[in-house]
Structure 1
Amino acid sequence: MSKPSQETLQQACDDLMACDPAFAAAFAVTGLPDWRYSPPGYHTIARMIAFQQITTKAAATIWGRVEAELGEVTPASVLGASEDTLRGCGLSRPKIGHLKSIATAVEEGALNLTRVYHAEIEAARAELLAVKGIGPWTADLFLLYCGRLDAFPIADVGLMEAYRQLSGHEERHASKAFTELAEAWRPWRGVAAHLLWGWINAERAKAYSASGGSDA
Protein backbone atom coordinates (compact mmCIF):
# COMPACT_ATOMS: atom_id res chain seq x y z
CA MET A 1 0.00 0.00 0.00
CA SER A 2 1.70 3.15 -1.21
CA LYS A 3 1.12 6.30 -3.20
CA PRO A 4 0.82 5.99 -6.99
CA SER A 5 3.99 5.58 -9.03
CA GLN A 6 5.33 8.37 -11.23
CA GLU A 7 4.54 6.26 -14.29
CA THR A 8 0.91 5.84 -13.23
CA LEU A 9 0.55 9.53 -12.48
CA GLN A 10 2.03 10.42 -15.88
CA GLN A 11 -0.44 8.13 -17.67
CA ALA A 12 -3.29 9.64 -15.69
CA CYS A 13 -2.19 13.20 -16.46
CA ASP A 14 -1.81 12.38 -20.16
CA ASP A 15 -5.36 10.99 -20.26
CA LEU A 16 -6.80 13.94 -18.34
CA MET A 17 -5.05 16.49 -20.55
CA ALA A 18 -6.45 14.75 -23.61
CA CYS A 19 -9.91 14.81 -22.01
CA ASP A 20 -10.06 18.44 -20.89
CA PRO A 21 -7.77 21.41 -21.71
CA ALA A 22 -8.15 22.70 -18.14
CA PHE A 23 -5.82 19.90 -17.02
CA ALA A 24 -3.23 20.79 -19.64
CA ALA A 25 -3.18 24.31 -18.21
CA ALA A 26 -2.85 22.94 -14.68
CA PHE A 27 -0.13 20.48 -15.63
CA ALA A 28 1.88 23.24 -17.31
CA VAL A 29 2.17 24.85 -13.86
CA THR A 30 2.35 21.85 -11.53
CA GLY A 31 3.87 19.02 -13.51
CA LEU A 32 3.18 15.64 -11.93
CA PRO A 33 1.16 16.24 -8.78
CA ASP A 34 2.62 15.51 -5.35
CA TRP A 35 0.21 12.92 -3.93
CA ARG A 36 -1.06 13.62 -0.41
CA TYR A 37 -0.47 10.06 0.79
CA SER A 38 -1.33 8.57 4.18
CA PRO A 39 -1.44 4.83 5.06
CA PRO A 40 -5.00 3.38 5.02
CA GLY A 41 -5.31 2.80 8.76
CA TYR A 42 -7.20 4.11 11.75
CA HIS A 43 -4.48 6.66 12.54
CA THR A 44 -5.11 8.40 9.22
CA ILE A 45 -8.86 8.67 9.59
CA ALA A 46 -8.53 9.73 13.25
CA ARG A 47 -6.15 12.51 12.27
CA MET A 48 -8.60 13.70 9.62
CA ILE A 49 -11.37 13.90 12.23
CA ALA A 50 -9.11 15.90 14.55
CA PHE A 51 -8.21 18.38 11.80
CA GLN A 52 -11.78 19.14 10.71
CA GLN A 53 -13.31 22.61 11.08
CA ILE A 54 -10.35 24.28 12.81
CA THR A 55 -7.17 25.92 11.57
CA THR A 56 -4.29 23.70 10.52
CA LYS A 57 -2.07 25.24 13.18
CA ALA A 58 -4.56 24.61 15.99
CA ALA A 59 -5.27 21.09 14.74
CA ALA A 60 -1.57 20.24 14.58
CA THR A 61 -1.15 21.36 18.20
CA ILE A 62 -4.10 19.27 19.35
CA TRP A 63 -3.02 16.22 17.38
CA GLY A 64 0.49 16.51 18.79
CA ARG A 65 -0.98 16.36 22.29
CA VAL A 66 -3.09 13.33 21.37
CA GLU A 67 -0.03 11.47 20.07
CA ALA A 68 2.00 12.47 23.12
CA GLU A 69 -0.76 11.23 25.44
CA LEU A 70 -1.63 7.99 23.65
CA GLY A 71 1.64 7.11 21.98
CA GLU A 72 0.43 5.18 18.94
CA VAL A 73 -3.07 6.28 17.98
CA THR A 74 -4.98 3.02 17.51
CA PRO A 75 -8.57 1.93 18.08
CA ALA A 76 -7.49 0.30 21.33
CA SER A 77 -5.62 3.34 22.64
CA VAL A 78 -8.51 5.69 21.81
CA LEU A 79 -11.10 3.39 23.38
CA GLY A 80 -8.90 3.04 26.45
CA ALA A 81 -8.59 6.79 26.94
CA SER A 82 -11.18 8.62 29.02
CA GLU A 83 -13.15 11.53 27.63
CA ASP A 84 -11.45 13.80 30.15
CA THR A 85 -8.04 12.72 28.88
CA LEU A 86 -8.96 13.42 25.27
CA ARG A 87 -10.67 16.67 26.18
CA GLY A 88 -7.45 17.67 27.90
CA CYS A 89 -5.67 17.29 24.56
CA GLY A 90 -8.07 19.82 23.06
CA LEU A 91 -10.50 17.54 21.25
CA SER A 92 -14.16 18.54 21.31
CA ARG A 93 -16.79 16.16 22.68
CA PRO A 94 -18.30 15.52 19.20
CA LYS A 95 -14.89 14.65 17.78
CA ILE A 96 -14.17 12.33 20.71
CA GLY A 97 -17.51 10.64 20.04
CA HIS A 98 -16.61 10.20 16.38
CA LEU A 99 -13.14 8.83 17.16
CA LYS A 100 -14.54 6.31 19.62
CA SER A 101 -17.39 5.30 17.30
CA ILE A 102 -14.97 4.64 14.45
CA ALA A 103 -12.57 2.82 16.79
CA THR A 104 -15.40 0.58 17.98
CA ALA A 105 -16.40 -0.22 14.39
CA VAL A 106 -12.80 -1.19 13.58
CA GLU A 107 -12.36 -3.26 16.76
CA GLU A 108 -15.65 -5.12 16.20
CA GLY A 109 -14.98 -5.72 12.50
CA ALA A 110 -17.85 -3.63 11.16
CA LEU A 111 -15.25 -1.43 9.49
CA ASN A 112 -12.28 -3.20 7.91
CA LEU A 113 -9.98 -0.54 6.51
CA THR A 114 -7.89 -3.06 4.57
CA ARG A 115 -11.05 -4.32 2.89
CA VAL A 116 -12.13 -0.74 2.26
CA TYR A 117 -8.78 0.05 0.63
CA HIS A 118 -9.14 -2.79 -1.87
CA ALA A 119 -12.88 -2.52 -2.56
CA GLU A 120 -14.46 -0.79 -5.53
CA ILE A 121 -14.80 2.94 -4.86
CA GLU A 122 -18.55 2.98 -4.32
CA ALA A 123 -18.47 -0.10 -2.06
CA ALA A 124 -15.56 1.38 -0.09
CA ARG A 125 -17.37 4.66 0.31
CA ALA A 126 -20.56 2.93 1.43
CA GLU A 127 -18.72 0.95 4.13
CA LEU A 128 -17.11 4.10 5.47
CA LEU A 129 -20.35 6.08 5.45
CA ALA A 130 -22.14 3.34 7.40
CA VAL A 131 -20.02 4.22 10.45
CA LYS A 132 -21.21 6.99 12.76
CA GLY A 133 -18.70 9.84 12.64
CA ILE A 134 -17.65 9.36 9.02
CA GLY A 135 -19.32 11.77 6.60
CA PRO A 136 -18.92 12.07 2.83
CA TRP A 137 -15.96 14.51 3.05
CA THR A 138 -14.05 12.25 5.44
CA ALA A 139 -14.78 9.14 3.38
CA ASP A 140 -13.70 10.73 0.10
CA LEU A 141 -10.54 12.28 1.50
CA PHE A 142 -9.55 9.08 3.32
CA LEU A 143 -9.77 7.08 0.10
CA LEU A 144 -7.96 9.78 -1.85
CA TYR A 145 -5.09 10.14 0.62
CA CYS A 146 -4.68 6.37 0.74
CA GLY A 147 -3.87 6.38 -2.95
CA ARG A 148 -7.17 5.48 -4.59
CA LEU A 149 -6.80 6.95 -8.05
CA ASP A 150 -10.51 7.45 -8.67
CA ALA A 151 -11.53 8.75 -5.25
CA PHE A 152 -13.01 12.22 -5.52
CA PRO A 153 -13.90 14.76 -2.81
CA ILE A 154 -17.38 15.78 -3.89
CA ALA A 155 -18.31 19.43 -3.28
CA ASP A 156 -14.75 20.56 -2.52
CA VAL A 157 -14.88 24.32 -3.09
CA GLY A 158 -11.16 24.56 -3.86
CA LEU A 159 -11.49 22.07 -6.70
CA MET A 160 -14.55 23.80 -8.12
CA GLU A 161 -12.87 27.19 -7.99
CA ALA A 162 -9.67 25.90 -9.58
CA TYR A 163 -11.64 24.34 -12.42
CA ARG A 164 -13.67 27.53 -12.90
CA GLN A 165 -10.54 29.60 -13.35
CA LEU A 166 -8.73 27.08 -15.54
CA SER A 167 -11.75 26.57 -17.81
CA GLY A 168 -12.54 30.28 -18.06
CA HIS A 169 -16.06 30.10 -16.64
CA GLU A 170 -17.51 33.18 -14.93
CA GLU A 171 -19.23 31.12 -12.24
CA ARG A 172 -18.38 27.91 -10.45
CA HIS A 173 -20.32 24.77 -11.24
CA ALA A 174 -22.89 23.80 -8.65
CA SER A 175 -21.84 20.77 -6.61
CA LYS A 176 -24.09 18.32 -8.46
CA ALA A 177 -23.06 19.62 -11.87
CA PHE A 178 -19.37 19.45 -10.93
CA THR A 179 -19.76 15.87 -9.71
CA GLU A 180 -21.44 14.95 -13.00
CA LEU A 181 -18.70 16.70 -14.96
CA ALA A 182 -16.05 14.71 -13.07
CA GLU A 183 -17.54 11.46 -14.34
CA ALA A 184 -15.66 12.13 -17.58
CA TRP A 185 -12.38 12.02 -15.63
CA ARG A 186 -12.76 8.40 -14.47
CA PRO A 187 -10.74 6.37 -13.62
CA TRP A 188 -8.42 9.25 -12.69
CA ARG A 189 -10.64 11.57 -10.64
CA GLY A 190 -8.20 11.47 -7.73
CA VAL A 191 -5.38 12.60 -9.98
CA ALA A 192 -7.64 15.33 -11.35
CA ALA A 193 -8.22 16.52 -7.78
CA HIS A 194 -4.48 16.65 -7.08
CA LEU A 195 -3.82 18.59 -10.30
CA LEU A 196 -6.51 21.14 -9.47
CA TRP A 197 -5.33 21.50 -5.86
CA GLY A 198 -1.73 21.83 -7.00
CA TRP A 199 -2.61 24.54 -9.49
CA ILE A 200 -4.76 26.65 -7.19
CA ASN A 201 -2.22 26.39 -4.36
CA ALA A 202 0.50 27.57 -6.76
CA GLU A 203 -1.68 30.51 -7.79
CA ARG A 204 -2.33 31.42 -4.17
CA ALA A 205 1.38 31.23 -3.39
CA LYS A 206 2.11 33.48 -6.37
CA ALA A 207 -0.46 36.04 -5.24
CA TYR A 208 0.90 35.93 -1.69
CA SER A 209 4.44 36.51 -2.95
CA ALA A 210 3.30 39.36 -5.20
CA SER A 211 1.66 41.05 -2.21
CA GLY A 212 4.98 41.02 -0.39
CA GLY A 213 3.92 38.20 1.90
CA SER A 214 1.02 40.12 3.38
CA ASP A 215 -2.43 38.68 4.01
CA ALA A 216 -3.94 42.15 3.77
Structure 2
Amino acid sequence: MTRPTPEALLEACEHLAGCDPVFARAHRSVGVPDWRYGAPDYAVIARMIAFQQITTKAAATIWGRVEEALGEVCTAGILGASEETLRGCGLSRPKIRHLRSIAEAVETGALDLARVHAADMDAARKELIAVKGIGPWTADLFLLYCGRLDAWPSGDVGLMESYRMLSEAEARHETRAFDQLAQSWRPYRGVAAHLLWNWINAERAKAYAADGGR
Protein backbone atom coordinates (compact mmCIF):
# COMPACT_ATOMS: atom_id res chain seq x y z
CA MET A 1 0.00 0.00 0.00
CA THR A 2 1.01 3.61 -0.50
CA ARG A 3 -0.31 6.94 0.72
CA PRO A 4 -4.00 7.17 -0.32
CA THR A 5 -4.68 9.61 -3.15
CA PRO A 6 -6.73 12.79 -2.51
CA GLU A 7 -9.38 11.38 -4.85
CA ALA A 8 -9.68 8.15 -2.85
CA LEU A 9 -9.84 10.08 0.42
CA LEU A 10 -12.51 12.42 -0.91
CA GLU A 11 -14.64 9.48 -2.05
CA ALA A 12 -14.25 7.88 1.39
CA CYS A 13 -15.09 11.13 3.21
CA GLU A 14 -18.25 11.59 1.16
CA HIS A 15 -19.26 7.99 1.89
CA LEU A 16 -18.72 8.49 5.63
CA ALA A 17 -20.57 11.81 5.61
CA GLY A 18 -23.56 10.01 4.14
CA CYS A 19 -23.36 7.28 6.80
CA ASP A 20 -23.01 9.41 9.91
CA PRO A 21 -23.71 13.14 10.50
CA VAL A 22 -20.64 13.31 12.75
CA PHE A 23 -18.43 12.78 9.71
CA ALA A 24 -20.45 15.23 7.65
CA ARG A 25 -19.64 17.86 10.26
CA ALA A 26 -15.97 16.87 10.49
CA HIS A 27 -15.60 16.83 6.71
CA ARG A 28 -17.15 20.30 6.38
CA SER A 29 -14.71 21.56 8.98
CA VAL A 30 -11.41 19.99 7.88
CA GLY A 31 -12.05 18.89 4.30
CA VAL A 32 -10.00 15.92 3.14
CA PRO A 33 -7.79 14.89 6.09
CA ASP A 34 -4.02 14.70 6.01
CA TRP A 35 -2.95 11.05 6.09
CA ARG A 36 -0.43 9.94 8.70
CA TYR A 37 1.69 7.97 6.25
CA GLY A 38 4.92 6.18 7.08
CA ALA A 39 7.08 3.84 5.04
CA PRO A 40 6.43 0.21 6.07
CA ASP A 41 9.74 -0.29 7.84
CA TYR A 42 11.15 -1.03 11.27
CA ALA A 43 11.68 2.64 12.12
CA VAL A 44 7.94 3.33 11.93
CA ILE A 45 7.14 0.56 14.40
CA ALA A 46 10.03 1.60 16.66
CA ARG A 47 8.72 5.16 16.77
CA MET A 48 5.26 3.91 17.74
CA ILE A 49 6.76 1.94 20.62
CA ALA A 50 8.73 4.97 21.79
CA PHE A 51 5.62 7.18 21.74
CA GLN A 52 3.38 4.81 23.71
CA GLN A 53 1.97 5.80 27.12
CA ILE A 54 3.76 9.15 27.45
CA THR A 55 2.99 12.66 26.26
CA THR A 56 3.70 13.55 22.65
CA LYS A 57 6.16 16.23 23.73
CA ALA A 58 8.14 13.88 25.94
CA ALA A 59 8.09 11.14 23.30
CA ALA A 60 9.34 13.52 20.60
CA THR A 61 12.25 14.51 22.83
CA ILE A 62 13.16 10.87 23.50
CA TRP A 63 12.83 9.92 19.84
CA GLY A 64 15.06 12.81 18.84
CA ARG A 65 17.73 11.53 21.21
CA VAL A 66 17.41 8.01 19.79
CA GLU A 67 17.86 9.32 16.25
CA GLU A 68 20.86 11.39 17.33
CA ALA A 69 22.46 8.46 19.15
CA LEU A 70 21.95 5.90 16.39
CA GLY A 71 22.14 8.11 13.30
CA GLU A 72 19.54 5.87 11.67
CA VAL A 73 16.92 3.91 13.55
CA CYS A 74 17.15 0.40 12.13
CA THR A 75 17.28 -3.15 13.41
CA ALA A 76 21.09 -3.30 13.40
CA GLY A 77 21.35 -0.01 15.25
CA ILE A 78 18.93 -1.03 18.00
CA LEU A 79 20.49 -4.47 18.43
CA GLY A 80 24.00 -3.03 18.42
CA ALA A 81 23.34 -0.25 20.91
CA SER A 82 23.97 -0.88 24.58
CA GLU A 83 21.13 -0.69 27.06
CA GLU A 84 23.00 2.17 28.72
CA THR A 85 22.89 4.15 25.46
CA LEU A 86 19.19 3.50 24.91
CA ARG A 87 18.33 4.22 28.54
CA GLY A 88 20.29 7.44 28.23
CA CYS A 89 17.92 8.49 25.44
CA GLY A 90 15.02 8.12 27.84
CA LEU A 91 13.66 4.76 26.75
CA SER A 92 12.29 2.54 29.51
CA ARG A 93 13.57 -1.00 29.96
CA PRO A 94 10.28 -2.58 28.76
CA LYS A 95 10.37 -0.45 25.60
CA ILE A 96 13.98 -1.43 24.97
CA ARG A 97 13.02 -5.10 25.29
CA HIS A 98 10.17 -4.61 22.83
CA LEU A 99 12.32 -2.72 20.35
CA ARG A 100 14.93 -5.47 20.45
CA SER A 101 12.38 -8.27 20.22
CA ILE A 102 10.85 -6.70 17.10
CA ALA A 103 14.30 -6.02 15.61
CA GLU A 104 15.29 -9.66 16.14
CA ALA A 105 12.07 -10.85 14.49
CA VAL A 106 12.82 -8.68 11.46
CA GLU A 107 16.45 -9.83 11.31
CA THR A 108 15.52 -13.53 11.48
CA GLY A 109 12.66 -13.20 9.02
CA ALA A 110 10.00 -14.14 11.56
CA LEU A 111 8.54 -10.72 10.78
CA ASP A 112 8.75 -9.83 7.10
CA LEU A 113 7.54 -6.26 6.70
CA ALA A 114 7.50 -6.52 2.91
CA ARG A 115 5.22 -9.55 3.24
CA VAL A 116 3.07 -7.71 5.79
CA HIS A 117 2.86 -4.74 3.44
CA ALA A 118 1.58 -6.91 0.59
CA ALA A 119 -0.72 -9.22 2.58
CA ASP A 120 -4.43 -8.78 3.15
CA MET A 121 -5.21 -6.99 6.39
CA ASP A 122 -6.13 -10.03 8.49
CA ALA A 123 -2.96 -11.89 7.55
CA ALA A 124 -0.83 -8.79 8.02
CA ARG A 125 -2.29 -8.13 11.45
CA LYS A 126 -1.81 -11.76 12.51
CA GLU A 127 1.88 -11.70 11.55
CA LEU A 128 2.47 -8.43 13.39
CA ILE A 129 0.85 -9.37 16.70
CA ALA A 130 2.67 -12.72 16.73
CA VAL A 131 5.83 -10.75 17.58
CA LYS A 132 6.51 -9.98 21.23
CA GLY A 133 6.25 -6.23 21.69
CA ILE A 134 3.61 -5.62 19.02
CA GLY A 135 0.10 -5.47 20.44
CA PRO A 136 -3.16 -5.11 18.53
CA TRP A 137 -3.16 -1.29 18.76
CA THR A 138 0.41 -1.03 17.42
CA ALA A 139 -0.36 -3.48 14.62
CA ASP A 140 -3.48 -1.59 13.59
CA LEU A 141 -1.74 1.77 13.74
CA PHE A 142 1.15 0.45 11.63
CA LEU A 143 -1.29 -0.80 8.99
CA LEU A 144 -3.10 2.52 9.10
CA TYR A 145 0.14 4.44 8.55
CA CYS A 146 0.91 2.13 5.63
CA GLY A 147 -2.22 3.37 3.87
CA ARG A 148 -4.85 0.76 4.76
CA LEU A 149 -8.14 2.61 4.42
CA ASP A 150 -9.98 0.28 6.78
CA ALA A 151 -7.34 -0.18 9.52
CA TRP A 152 -8.80 0.75 12.90
CA PRO A 153 -6.75 1.57 16.06
CA SER A 154 -9.15 0.19 18.65
CA GLY A 155 -9.07 1.92 22.02
CA ASP A 156 -7.63 5.22 20.81
CA VAL A 157 -8.93 7.73 23.36
CA GLY A 158 -8.41 10.68 21.02
CA LEU A 159 -10.79 9.16 18.48
CA MET A 160 -13.43 8.47 21.09
CA GLU A 161 -13.18 11.98 22.51
CA SER A 162 -13.32 13.56 19.06
CA TYR A 163 -16.47 11.59 18.24
CA ARG A 164 -18.02 12.58 21.59
CA MET A 165 -17.33 16.26 20.97
CA LEU A 166 -18.64 16.18 17.41
CA SER A 167 -21.80 14.37 18.44
CA GLU A 168 -22.20 16.67 21.48
CA ALA A 169 -22.62 13.67 23.78
CA GLU A 170 -22.00 13.91 27.52
CA ALA A 171 -19.87 10.78 27.76
CA ARG A 172 -17.50 8.89 25.48
CA HIS A 173 -18.31 5.45 24.14
CA GLU A 174 -16.64 2.52 25.85
CA THR A 175 -14.05 0.86 23.62
CA ARG A 176 -16.17 -2.17 22.73
CA ALA A 177 -19.21 -0.05 21.90
CA PHE A 178 -17.10 2.31 19.82
CA ASP A 179 -15.58 -0.59 17.90
CA GLN A 180 -19.07 -1.92 17.20
CA LEU A 181 -20.16 1.51 15.96
CA ALA A 182 -17.07 1.67 13.75
CA GLN A 183 -18.21 -1.46 11.93
CA SER A 184 -20.79 0.72 10.18
CA TRP A 185 -17.95 2.85 8.74
CA ARG A 186 -16.30 -0.02 6.87
CA PRO A 187 -14.51 -0.16 4.49
CA TYR A 188 -13.24 3.29 5.49
CA ARG A 189 -12.58 3.07 9.23
CA GLY A 190 -9.05 4.35 8.69
CA VAL A 191 -10.38 7.42 6.92
CA ALA A 192 -12.88 7.88 9.76
CA ALA A 193 -9.94 7.83 12.18
CA HIS A 194 -8.09 10.49 10.21
CA LEU A 195 -11.16 12.72 10.01
CA LEU A 196 -11.60 12.49 13.78
CA TRP A 197 -7.90 13.10 14.47
CA ASN A 198 -7.74 16.04 12.08
CA TRP A 199 -10.85 17.61 13.55
CA ILE A 200 -9.84 17.35 17.21
CA ASN A 201 -6.30 18.56 16.46
CA ALA A 202 -7.73 21.59 14.64
CA GLU A 203 -10.00 22.33 17.61
CA ARG A 204 -7.09 22.08 20.03
CA ALA A 205 -5.05 24.41 17.85
CA LYS A 206 -7.88 26.95 17.88
CA ALA A 207 -8.16 26.74 21.65
CA TYR A 208 -4.39 27.13 22.02
CA ALA A 209 -4.40 30.23 19.79
CA ALA A 210 -7.39 31.72 21.61
CA ASP A 211 -5.54 31.24 24.90
CA GLY A 212 -2.62 33.26 23.60
CA GLY A 213 -0.43 30.24 22.97
CA ARG A 214 -0.37 29.21 26.62
TM-score above 0.5, yes or no: yes
Look up the SS of the partner of 1:201 in the other structure: helix
Alignment of 1:19 onto 2:24: no
Look up the SS of the partner of 1:90 in the other structure: coil
Give the distance between the partners of 2:117 and 2:18, measured in 1 at CA: 28
Deviation per CA, 1:102-144, whole angstroms, max 9, x where unpaired? 0011111111112112222222222111111111221111111
Q: C-alpha displacement at 1:20, in angstroms?
A: 1.0
Alignment of 1:82 onto 2:82: yes
Q: C-alpha displacement at 1:14, in angstroms?
A: 1.1
Q: C-alpha displacement at 1:76, in angstroms?
A: 1.6
* Counterpart mapping for 1:127-142 below 5 A: 127-142=127-142
Q: C-alpha displacement at 1:47, in angstroms?
A: 1.1
Give the distance between the partners of 1:168 and 1:4, measured in 2 at CA: 30
Deviation per CA, 1:188-207, whole angstroms, max 9, x where unpaired? 10000000111111122222
Look up the SS of the partner of 1:99 in the other structure: helix
Query: 1:201 matched to which residue of 2?
Result: 201
Query: 2:112 matched to which residue of 1?
Result: 112
4+ residue stretches of structure 1 with deviation over 6 A? none
Look up the SS of the partner of 1:187 in the other structure: coil
Give the distance between the partners of 2:57 and 2:41, measured in 1 at CA: 23
Query: 1:126 matched to which residue of 2?
Result: 126
Give the distance between the partners of 2:117 and 2:108, measured in 1 at CA: 18
What is the Cα-based RMSD across aligned positions, in Å? 1.4
Give the distance between the partners of 2:163 and 2:101, measured in 1 at CA: 36
Structure 1 residues 56, 169: closer, same or farther in 2, change over 3 A?
closer
Give the TM-score normalised by structure 2: 0.94
Query: 1:61 matched to which residue of 2?
Result: 61
Deviation larger for 78-87 or 143-152: 78-87
Amino acid of the structure 1 residue aligned with 2:165: Q
Deviation larger for 144-153 or 24-33: 144-153
- How many aligned positions are there? 214
Query: 1:157 matched to which residue of 2?
Result: 157
Look up the SS of the partner of 1:153 in the other structure: coil
Give the distance between the partners of 2:194 and 2:174, measured in 1 at CA: 20
Give the distance between the partners of 1:159 and 1:56, measured in 2 at CA: 16
Give the distance between the partners of 2:79 and 2:213, measured in 1 at CA: 44
Give the distance between the partners of 2:157 and 2:65, measured in 1 at CA: 30
Give the distance between the partners of 1:147 and 1:101, measured in 2 at CA: 25
Query: 2:51 matched to which residue of 1?
Result: 51
Q: C-alpha displacement at 1:61, in angstroms?
A: 2.3
Q: C-alpha displacement at 1:44, in angstroms?
A: 0.5
Give the distance between the partners of 2:184 and 2:58, measured in 1 at CA: 37
Give the TM-score normalised by structure 1: 0.93
Q: C-alpha displacement at 1:176, in angstroms?
A: 0.6
Query: 2:94 matched to which residue of 1?
Result: 94
Give the distance between the partners of 1:180 and 1:51, measured in 2 at CA: 27
Look up the SS of the partner of 2:207 in the other structure: helix
Give the distance between the partners of 2:174 and 2:98, measured in 1 at CA: 29
Deviation larger for 27-36 or 74-83: 74-83
Deviation larger for 130-139 or 62-71: 62-71
Q: C-alpha displacement at 1:5, in angstroms?
A: 0.5
Structure 1 residues 171, 56: closer, same or farther in 2, change over 3 A?
closer
